[in-house]
Amino acid sequence: MTKAELVVKIAEKANLTKANAERALNAFLESVEGTLVSEGKLTLTGFGTFVVEERKARVGRNPRTGKEIKIPATKVVKFRPGKLLKDAIK
């Protein structure tokens, strides 16, 4: 599903115009991003939890040449689904 398709679904379910649905989705995405940057964790009860975690620096290999390369430490966002989402998927 693309962002445009999601906007259409939100507009239909919430009885909004596509423009208002897109503004709402953009506001939600900006809020999630801002919360993860400032606090590092966002929990949506029943849906799941977004957590920022640190990935350590490590040594990898270039698959073409086999040469060792250093992969720097970085932060990644991980998602852990909640019970309601897990049950809905089953």
CATH of 3-88, one of 3.90.1720.10, 3.90.1150.10, 4.10.520.10, 1.20.1730.10: 4.10.520.10
Strand partners, 61: 68
Per-residue pLDDT tens over the stretch 53-62: 999 999 999 9
| 80 band by pLDDT with thresholds 50, 70 and 90 | very high
pLDDT at 3: 95
pLDDT at 34: 96
- H/E run at residue 78: strand 74-81
pLDDT at 79: 96
pTM for this model (two decimals) = 0.78
Average pLDDT over residues 71-76: 96
Separation of alpha carbons 56 and 53, rounded Å: 10
Q: For the beta carbon of residue 42, count every other beta carbon within 10 angstroms.
A: 18
Structural domain boundaries in the chain? 3-88
| 37 band by pLDDT with thresholds 50, 70 and 90 | very high
- Give the distance from CA 56 to its chain's centroid: 20
Count of positions (residues) in the chain:
90
Separation of alpha carbons 77 and 37, rounded Å: 10
Per-residue pLDDT tens over the stretch 13-36: 999 999 999 999 999 999 999 999
* Packing angle of the helix pair 3-14, 18-38 (nearest 10 deg): 110
Average pLDDT over residues 8-15: 96
